[in-house]
Amino acid sequence: MRTGTVYTETVVHLAPTKFAANVPYQVAIVDLEDGERLTARISGDRVAIGDLVSETESHHEIPYFRKS
């Protein structure tokens, strides 16, 4: 499981048709430990810049992270 640090985040309230049923949901850009950067969904508690997160699961090829 990949781990990383939240570089930035937002909570989406107005979504495209495809994700309209999911709002509000959190999206974050995560700095992974290997130096890569990734845009991911956040599950569970809301996270803030600097929070440590780890990957939980992947739904329909969407990476999900949660607060470590």
Partner 1 sequence: MSYGRRVAIVGAGKTAFGAFADRDLRSLAVAAGRKALANARMEPGTIESFYLGNFAGPEFTGQNHLAPWISSSLGMTGIPSTRFEAACASSGAAFFQAFMGVASGVYDAVLVVGVEKMTCQPTARVTEILAGAGDGDTEVRVGSTFPSLFAMIARRHMHDFGTTREHLASVAVKNHENGALNPDAQMRKVITLEQAMNGRPIAEPLNLYDCSLISDGAAAVVLCAADRAREFSDKPVQVLGVAQASDFVALDRKRDITTFPALKAAADSAYKMAGVTAKDIEFAELHDCFTIAEIVAMEDLGFVERGRGGFFSLAGGTRRDGTMPVNASGGLKAKGHPVGATGVGQLCDIIQQLRCEAGDRQLKRHSLGLAQNLGGSGATCVVTILGCY
Distance between CA atoms of 30 and 9, rounded to whole angstroms?
A: 9
Q: Binding of partner 1 at residue 21 (CB under 8 A)?
A: no
Contacts with partner 1: how many residues (CB under 8 A)?
29
Q: Binding of partner 1 at residue 53 (CB under 8 A)?
A: no
Residue 53: partners with Cβ closer than 8 Å, 6 or more residues away: 3, 4, 5, 6, 28, 30, 42, 47, 65, 66, 67, 68
Q: Binding of partner 1 at residue 49 (CB under 8 A)?
A: yes
Minimum CB distance to partner 1, residue 68 (Å): 19
Q: Binding of partner 1 at residue 41 (CB under 8 A)?
A: yes
